[in-house]
Amino acid sequence: MILLCPVCFCTHYKNQKNEFMKPKSFSETLRPPKNGNDKNPLVPQSSSLLETLPGASLQETETEIEQVEGIQLTKPGEADRELFNKLNTEIETETESAYEQVMEEPGTEVAEEGVFARDVFFASYPELLEKSMAEIIFGTDNRVRITPTTSFPWRAICALRIKAQDNSLWYGTGWLVAPRTVITAGHCVFLHAHGGWPKSIEVIPGMDDNLRPYKSYIGTSFRSVVGWVNGKKREYDYGAIILPRDSRPGDKTGVFGFAAKDNQYLLSAYLNLSGYPGDKGLPLPLGDQQYFMAQKAKSVAPRVIYYEIDTMGGQSGSPVWVKVGNARYAVGIHTNGHITGNSATRIVLPVFNNIQAWKNLGM
Amino acid sequence: MTTTTKSVRGVLYKAATGQPVEGAMVMIAEGTYEHQDIAAQSDAQGGFYLPEIQVPGTYTLLINYNDQSRRITVNITSDSVLRIPL
């Protein structure tokens, strides 16, 4: 029997186990402001969209800051300044050349070894810019399990096992942008209430039940930015794991590209998201199966992308990417869930620059 | 209403014996406020945390352990410590 969601009359109100899931579609009017970044989100209905990427020319006005206890001010651009726990696994010479003003960084897909790539194209989506297309996997559930995970891009997506300084254990997701650089959520590499930088994170590319087709690797060198580490601001919730020199899973899995795209592009493109949700995998162990879903964005804000792609705990750090031909460009890093829309930290130019620098560290 | 952000501790135990439940996966399925999409694993004492959530608020937790799955809706305040029988 098909059950309809009473809110949006969609057909995915219950999952295969007949458990209630997060609503997938809902009225925009139901959304309360979540933060200062979301008070006026851009939505697809708008015919003319303002580009608000950093660097845009804005007329300055004279303003004052309310004196509020606990507020921390940062200089322009300061919130994206890199912070790290140690530099013992990478070259410590970070020069300006690492911050090239480019907006797309291609990934690489290493040669398949007799593995059939499951993703196929939509027949046509003329409304999409640059023919950005969604990964398509056949199935009836909105979240579709990826198995096997040994083809690209699935094998470049990693299950994370995070051991915090207070020994608490957490599950997340990351994705490779270089042989030994894994991009993830800031809250996976800096847990404010649990000692900050973790003791270690186990990185398991392409995990598939008890299979670890590309082994696993222990990371102890982490990166994030001031806006997350010091400011705990949702808009700066991104970071990286730099694996040791002898740990180079990206050589075998291939790596994601990444790009900073404008509002119109993001609202028109299909967004792909795949990660390791903690509600999948019963019986134990949980969180060891990769699940995927694709959908267009619900809205975009200057530093956040909102969507109705189903996610669950454990998927923090998952790549949100667009597929252009055979290239995959991550445009966001999944971080948050909420009934009015799940969301990703958007890759804008400062984020792009940091990922580029972190990629260089892991070459 | 004034809210604050904090990590909230919880403890899972077996309803029949009172013994702690180790190795369960705990995550937020729904909530009053936006939440991080990270999952926690309970430790040997059955302890876990809900990371950096806004309180007070109402949250639906999804708890998976062994071959069981439970959904529990809880009202959480700033001084809450959750004790959840399974």
For B39-59, write each residue's pLDDT tens digit.
Answer: 999 999 999 999 999 999 999
Give the distance, in angstroms, between the CA of residue A330 and the centroid of all CA atoms in the same chain.
7
Enumerate the residues of chain A whose CB falls inside 8 A of the CB of residue B67.
282-284
Nearest to A283 among B7, B51, B66 (CB): B66
Chain B segment 56-75 residues within 8 A of A by beta carbon are 62, 64-67, 69, 71
Dump pLDDT digits (tens) for A242-266.
Answer: 999 999 999 999 999 999 999 999 9
| Terminal alpha carbon distance of chain B | 32
Do A242 and A227 touch, CB atoms closer than 8 A?
Answer: no
**Enzyme catalytic residues of A:** 187, 316
Enumerate the residues of chain A whose CB falls inside 8 A of the CB of residue B40.
168-171, 313
B26 min Cα distance to partner chain A (Å): 8
Dump pLDDT digits (tens) for A142-151.
Answer: 788 999 999 9
Domain count for chain A: 1
Chain B segment 18-47 residues within 8 A of A by beta carbon are 23, 25-31, 33-41, 43, 47
A229 min Cα distance to partner chain B (Å): 13
Task: Mention every residue, 6+ apart, whose C-beta is less than 8 A from residue A354.
Answer: A80, A82, A223, A225, A238, A240
CATH number at residue A209: 2.40.10.120
Mean pLDDT lowest for which of A81-90, A316-325, A344-353? A81-90
- Asked if pLDDT for residue B21 goes beyond 50, the answer is yes
Interface size between A and B, measured as CB pairs under 8 A: 123
- Picking from B3, B6, B5, B15, the residue whose alpha carbon sits closest to that of residue B49 is B6
Dump pLDDT digits (tens) for A1-37.
Answer: 444 444 334 444 344 444 444 433 333 333 333 433 4
- Asked if pLDDT for residue A93 goes beyond 80, the answer is no
Q: Which class for A169: exposed (0-12), middle (13-18), buried (19 or more C-beta within 10 A)?
A: middle
B6 min Cα distance to partner chain A (Å): 8
Do A173 and A160 touch, CB atoms closer than 8 A?
Answer: yes
Task: Mention every residue, 6+ apart, whose C-beta is less than 8 A from residue A319.
Answer: A153, A157, A175, A183, A256, A272, A273, A274, A275, A330, A332, A333, A334
Nearest to B39 among A22, A185, A313 (CB): A313
Contact B7 A169 (CB under 8 A): no
Cα dist. A331→A34, A134, A156, A261, A321 in Å? 21, 13, 16, 7, 5
A162 min Cα distance to partner chain B (Å): 9
Token pair 């959520």 in the structure block, residue: A185
Mean pLDDT lowest for which of A39-43, A189-193, A263-267, A352-356? A39-43
- Of the residues B4, B9, B25, B28, the best mutation for testing chain A's interface (the one with the most A CB atoms within 10 Å of its CB) is B25
Nearest to A312 among B29, B33, B66 (CB): B29
Do A173 and A316 touch, CB atoms closer than 8 A?
Answer: yes
Q: What pLDDT, on a 0 to 100 scale, did the predictor assign at position A284?
A: 63
- Asked if pLDDT for residue A59 goes beyond 60, the answer is no
Dump pLDDT digits (tens) for A318-349.
Answer: 999 999 888 899 999 999 999 888 999 999 99
Q: Which range marks the domain in which residue A282 is found?
A: 1-363
> Residue B60 is which amino acid?
T
Question: Would you call B2 an interface residue with chain A, using a CB distance cutoff of 8 Å?
Answer: no
Q: What pLDDT, on a 0 to 100 scale, did the predictor assign at position A282?
A: 64
- Asked if pLDDT for residue B30 goes beyond 80, the answer is yes
